[in-house]
Structure 1
Amino acid sequence: MPQTTSSPSAASGSGTDAKPRRPVRRSVRDWVSTEPGAWSIALFPSLAAWAATGPTWTSTWLVALWAICYCAQFTTARWCKSRFRRRYRTPALTYALVLAVAGLPFLVLHPGVLWWAPIYAVLCGVSLLASWMRRERSLWSNLAAVLAASAMATVVAPFGTRCLAPSATNRLPRLYDPALFPDVGVEIATGFALALFGSVLFVKTMIRERGHRGYLYASWAYHALLVAFGFLCDALYGALALALLARAVALPLIARHRTVPVKAVGVTESVMSLLMLVLIPLGA
C-alpha cells in the first residue's frame, strides 16, 4: 500500500484545518534497478558475446529479452521478499507480461533455446528462495546470479554471424547438440563467471564481511589462482586477472587505515567490469 504523510498541524488540527494526506509516489526503484553493479553483472556477459560473435537482429532480440528477464527477476524477488506486498506486485506482473509477449515469438522461431530452460528454472528458483529468506546477499545467492548472467554468453553466441547455427536453434532441443555451445560463447561465459565471482568475494571483503580475515584470505587466494590460470590461457586474461588481484589486495589494505566509501568500491568495480567487457571478448 502507498504510504501517506501528514504535517503536524494537520494531525492536530480540526477537520476544516486539516490538509488531506497525499500518497507518496512510488519510487522508480520499484521498477528499475538503480545499482550499476547489478546491471553490469546481468548484462555484460551477454553483451560481450553479442559483440564478439557478430551482432544480428536475432542476437539483439535475445539480449533485449534477457534485459527484460532481469527486470522481471529483480521485481519478482522484491515482491517475494516483501511477502507479496501490493506495492511490488504491479512491476513484477507487468514485466512478466512484457517478457511473455516479447519472448513467446522468439521461442516459436528458436525452440532450441529451451535446452537452457531447466538450468535457468533452477537458478531463478535459488534467487527467489534467497529473496524469500531475505538472504539475497548471501554467497550462494550471488553465485546463482553470476552463473545465470555468465551462461547467457553461451545462449547468445549461436545467433551471431560467426556462430550461426539455425539447425540447432530452430528445432526442439536434443539431449545435447554441440552447435548450441560454440567455443567462443563457452569461453566468454567461463571468463565472466570466474571474474565476476572474484568481484563477489572482493565486494564482501569491503562491505558486508569487512574485517573478516577468512573472506579476505579466500579472496586473495582466489585472485592469485585466477592470475595463474589467466596467463596459462591468454595474456589478455592474465592482464585482467592481475588488475582484479591488485584491487582485491590494495583496497582492503587501505581500508585498514582509512575509510573507503562504498561509492569508491562501486566505482572501482565499474572500472573492472568495463575491463572485463573489453578484454574477455578480445581474448576469446
Structure 2
Amino acid sequence: MNTTTTPQPHEPRPADRATTARRTTAHDWIPDQPGAWAMALLPALAGMVVGGPNAATVWLFAAWMLCYCVQFTAARWIRSRFARRYLPPTVIYTVLLVMVGLPFVIVHPGVLWWAPLYLVLAALSFAAAWLRRERTLWGNAVAIVAACAMAMVVASFGTLANGAALPALANGGLPATVVFLLVQFGSVLFVKTMIRERGNRTYLLASWGWHAVLAAVTFGLWGALGFGLLFVALAIDAAWLMARAIALPLIARRRRLRPVVVGMVELVSSLLTFVAVITTF
C-alpha cells in the first residue's frame, strides 16, 4: 500500500490565525501604556512651553500626537505581517495626520528642514517593527531620538524664536532635547533591569553607571553655577532618577514588582523631568 503523503501547503499556526482574524478593538487604536505616552509627548509639550506657546506650537503638537498614533498602529500592522485588524487604525490616523499636518507644512515650510531626520527615524522604526526588534536598545534609541528631538522642533516655532537666524537654537529647545535624551535612555536601561533583563548584572551596572554619571554632571553644573536656584529642579530630578535606579532593582531581588508598578514609577519620573526642564530652560 502506498503510504506516501502529498505535501500540504503551510498553514498558519492557531495563534497566527487568531491574530489575523480577530476584529479591531479599542486597544488597537490607543496605546495602553501611560509611560509610553509620557515619553513620546512630554518632550514636545516642553518644547512648546520653553519656546513660547502660540498657535503654531499648539498646531505642531497636535500633529505630533497624530504622528505617534500613526507610528504605534502602523508598527503593529507591520509587525503582525499586515494583519487586517490593524489596518483601520493605521489608515484613519494617517488620513487625520495628513489633514492636520499638510496645512501646517504649507503655512510653515521651514518644518521641512527636519524631514530628513524623521524620514530616517521612521524607516528605522518600521524596520524594527518588521524585524520585531522594537524592544532592543537600538529600537528604543530610535523612538527616544524621535520623541526628544521634538522639544527642539516645537520650540523653533515658538514666540521666542521669532526672527531668529537659527530658530532651533534661539531658546531652550536644544538643552531640553539633551536632557530628555539622557533621561529617557537611562529609563530604558532601568526598565530593562526590572523586566526583560531582570537579574542581568551587565544591564544593572550599565543602568547604575548611566545614572551615576548623569547625577554627577548635573550636580557638577549646579555647583559651577554657585548652587543657585537655576539647577535646583534638575538636581532633584537627577537624585530621584539615581535613587529609583538603585533601590527598585534591589527591592525586586526579594519581591517581584509587577510591570504596572514600574510603569507608574517611570510616569512619575517623566513628569518630574518635564517640570525640571520647563522650570530651568
Range of TM-score over shorter length: 0.7 to 0.9
1:20-99 alignment to 2 at 5 Å?
A: 25-99=23-97
Letter in 2 for 1:34: D
Q: Choose the corresponding residue for 1:250, options 247, 251, 259.
A: 247
Q: 1:24 to 1:144 in 2, by over 3 A?
A: closer
Q: Summarize deviations over 1:21-62 as a string: whole Å, max 9, x none.
A: xx9652211111111111011100011111222211110000
Distance across 1 between alignment mates of 2:276 and 2:48: 14
Gaps of 5+ in 1: 5-22, 169-176
1:104 equivalent in alignment to 2:92: no
Q: Summarize deviations over 1:142-177 as a string: whole Å, max 9, x none.
A: 111111000001000022222224xx7xxxxxxxx6
Letter in 2 for 1:35: Q
Q: Choose the corresponding residue for 1:189, options 177, 181, 200.
A: 177
Letter in 1 for 2:263: G
- Which residue matches 1:219? 207
| Cα contact 1:229–1:238 (8 A) shared by 2 | no
1:113-152 alignment to 2 at 5 Å?
A: 113-152=111-150
- Which residue matches 2:225? none
Secondary structure (helix, strand or coil) at the match of 1:51 reads: helix
- Which residue matches 1:209? 197
What is the aligned-residue identity percentage?
A: 49
Alignment root-mean-square deviation, CA: 1.8
- Which residue matches 1:174? none
Distance across 2 between alignment mates of 1:164 and 1:250: 45
Distance across 1 between alignment mates of 2:104 and 2:171: 23
- Number of residue-to-residue matches in the alignment: 256
1:2-13 alignment to 2 at 5 Å?
A: none
Question: Which protein has greater RCO, CA pairs closer than 8 Å, 6+ apart?
Answer: 2
Q: Summarize deviations over 1:186-222 as a string: whole Å, max 9, x none.
A: 0111111111111110000000000000000000000
Distance across 2 between alignment mates of 1:54 and 1:95: 28
1:269 equivalent in alignment to 2:266: yes
| Cα contact 1:228–1:238 (8 A) shared by 2 | no
Secondary structure (helix, strand or coil) at the match of 2:134 reads: coil
Distance across 2 between alignment mates of 1:257 and 1:150: 35
Q: 1:78 to 1:24 in 2, by over 3 A?
A: closer
Distance across 2 between alignment mates of 1:62 and 1:2: 39
Shift of 1:2: 9.7
Shift of 1:271: 0.9
| TM-score of the superposed pair, with normalisation by structure 1 | 0.86
Shift of 1:141: 0.6
Distance across 1 between alignment mates of 2:220 and 2:52: 27
Distance across 2 between alignment mates of 1:152 and 1:192: 10
| Cα contact 1:31–1:75 (8 A) shared by 2 | yes
Shift of 1:91: 1.1
Q: 1:86 to 1:183 in 2, by over 3 A?
A: same
Shift of 1:265: 0.8
| Cα contact 2:23–2:85 (8 A) shared by 1 | no
Secondary structure (helix, strand or coil) at the match of 1:162 reads: helix
Q: Summarize deviations over 1:113-143 as a string: whole Å, max 9, x none.
A: 1111111111111111111011111111111
Q: 1:64 to 1:2 in 2, by over 3 A?
A: farther
Letter in 2 for 1:81: R
| Cα contact 1:46–1:63 (8 A) shared by 2 | yes
Secondary structure (helix, strand or coil) at the match of 2:31 reads: coil
Distance across 1 between alignment mates of 2:86 and 2:259: 27
Letter in 2 for 1:66: W
